Amino acid sequence: MLLSGHAMTLDFLADVPRFLFFTGKGGVGKTSLACATAVSLADAGQRVLLVSTDPASNVGQVFSVELSNTPTAIPAVPGLEALEIDPEAAAEAYREKIVGPVRGLLPETEIAAITESLSGSCTTEIASFNEFTGFLSDPVATAAYDHVIFDTAPTGHTIRLLELPGDWSSFIETGKGDASCLGPMSGLEKHRDAYASAVAALGDPDLTRLVLVARADPPSLAEAARAATELADRGMRRQYLVVNAVLPAGSAQGDELAEAIGAKEQAALQDLPTALADLPRDLVGLKPGNVVGVAALRGLLAEEQPPTRTTPADLHANVRSDQPADLPSDLPDGLPIGLDALVEELAQDDHGLVMCMGKGGVGKTTVAAAIAVALAERGHRVHLSTTDPAGHPEGVVRDAVENLTVTRIDPDEAITGYRDRVMRSKGAGLDAEGRAQLAEDLRSPCTAEVAVFHAFSRIINEAGKHFVVVDTAPTGHTLLLLDTTGSYHREVTRNMVAQQHFTTPMMRLQDPELTRLILVTLPETTPVLEALEFEQDLARADLHPWAWVVNESLAAARTTSPLLRARAAAEVEHLQDVAEHAERVAVLPMMAAEPTGAEQLRRLSNLAPQSTTTR
């Protein structure tokens, strides 16, 4: 609930339990809110430990303190200590615990195969969970603290893995699980009791509170709703919603872009997904700059002009689709605006695979749809599809476009079909108990990745004949899909006789003459860091981005709002970092009108055609 004046009360900070988890997709501000909460509790005299397991965490930067995996005091905040768990280091240690005992006992080829099976994102998720299990299951580990705050929470996917199956030993020994999760799960048995205790603590409302952090836009709120449902199903039902970076009332000051943003935010808040509608809800206002330093953290949870919950009805009528071209731009010199140059280079061929990748909510669907429309209108045959369970490219394109076919991989249909095929084949010779165990194994979240992989493979096979543009699932799911693709490639390679010709889906993805990977991000700290880390994960599979697209840039939007201009200035550092890093870059401005429909998508290509080569 919000109060007038200079302060507001926050539902998620009322009667705080021992454990708080802040979760949300990259860039929504969960690290800032977790840090601000830790400072607030410490200022109130509580002893607080702040734990980050977010791979894109910048907790150390926020406090200007170098952190490690052991608690470090924050000098400016008495009573507060913090630590950062490096997920990759945790994953490496987890792998070594499994591989170390058999190194020297098994052939090197077997060691390499085991190591590779433990190299995916499932391993990183489970290893991170393993690292902070002690904070939840061992009272001695946190005896010195009144509260433990986690910057990121275990996903429903991870908890589901830790719950499945009922008979772990049989699951691991018989090898019935999916390729992307069997390796990671092989090290879980020895920690089973600790995991059970940790999962129980997560579900105890007297011990644990989950804070879902989102932005006031439909994709972000939909992501929060999915997390709310999945985690509630896993027993985490004491949930609170914090909508961060809401445009404060009165900050538009006649700027049409700011007015449009405010109107869209208020509309999104009035039409919350069902899973979020009844949760306690707090709104935190947009700040002019990055939230860095203790003073900024203390100011984050105190609003001089709190966001309003009321939608100004007259804003929608006055919104234009873009700002006038003669308004000032804050974009650094030399950075290209629009997709035109990228599309022109792609269109030099008559076929190929274009994959738009990145975290959820960065605008992959919009970018993929705009590229597909632009290629189709240049006379090329194009198939636009998505592997994102929440992706609906047909709703973005909306209009019929000559040469363009729009489909989507329906995960539910793919999973159902895959499970039916496995039960008919592998399950045919099993007894009732065996079929029941197989059916339980097939309920693993990783089954979805395998099922989607088969549908994905069928689509990318078309790229040799015409253009295929794919809007991928958010990063974690994409990595699992790529892990599955890589596992299939290795299996095929092992089984092929010498000199026999074959082409696997991974070989198509690795072919730079066929495939162009486009990494989509936002001009903010966490999304850029996550994109860089995703690029490193892709490199492990010998996959490399062809171009970067920085979406929803205020610096490119020609706004006059003082608040938005201040936010635009904060983008410049990130835009310059991307420009220096990537070979090809396109910047898309924040737009007043939602870029849906063929006409709006065309504008994303034709904003300001320039060369995309930055180095």
Catalytic residue among 25, 30, 176, 359, which?
30
Length of the chain measured in residues: 615
The active-site residue out of 32, 158, 521, 553 is 32
Question: Which residue is catalytic, options 24, 26, 27, 352?
Answer: 27
Query: What is d(CA 258, CA 179) in angstroms, rounded to the nearest whole number?
Result: 48
Rounded alpha-carbon distances, angstroms, from residue 142 to 131, 134, 147, 148, 370:
14, 9, 8, 8, 51
Active site residue 97: no
In angstroms, the Cα distances linking 40 to 70, 80, 147, 189, 521 are: 22, 10, 12, 39, 31
Burial bucket for residue 611 (CB in 10 Å: 0-12, 13-18, 19+): exposed
What is the DSSP pairing of strand 72-73 with strand 48-52? Answer: unpaired
Using the structure block, give the residue that is written with the tokens 């509790």.
Answer: 41
Q: Which residues, listed in sequence order, are joined to residue 49 by a DSSP beta bridge?
A: 81, 148
Query: How far is the C-alpha of 214 from the C-alpha of 229, rounded, in Å?
Result: 15
Whole-number Å distance between alpha carbons of 591 and 239? 33
Q: What is the amino acid identity at position 139?
A: P
Q: Select which of 31, 137, 366, 487 is catalytic.
A: 31
Q: Count other C-beta atoms under 10 Å from residue 96's C-beta.
A: 13
**Structural tokens at position 423:** 């039960």
Give me the phi and psi of 246, to 5 degrees please: -80, 135
d(CA 211, CA 216): 15
**Active-site annotation holds for 124:** no
Do residues 390 and 222 touch, judged by C-beta distance below 8 A?
A: yes
In the set 23, 25, 26, 29, the catalytic residue is 29
Asked if residues 288 and 568 have their Cβ atoms less than 8 Å apart, the reply is no
Q: Tell me if residue 27 is catalytic.
A: yes
The span from the CA of 361 to the CA of 28, in Å, is 10
Beta bridge partners of 326: none
In angstroms, the CA 5 to CA 531 distance is: 39
Active-site residue (options: 158, 329, 526, 553): 526
Residue 329 annotated as catalytic: no
Annotated active-site residue 31? The verdict is: yes
Dihedral class, residue 494 (left if φ above 0, else alpha if ψ from -120 to 50, else beta): alpha
Residue from 345, 341, 410, 405 nearest 373 by CA? 405
Report residue 320 as tokens: 């234009």
Which residues have a Cβ under 8 Å from the Cβ of 468 and sit 6 or more positions away? 352, 353, 354, 382, 383, 385, 459, 460, 462
Catalytic residue positions, numbered:
27, 29-32, 54, 526
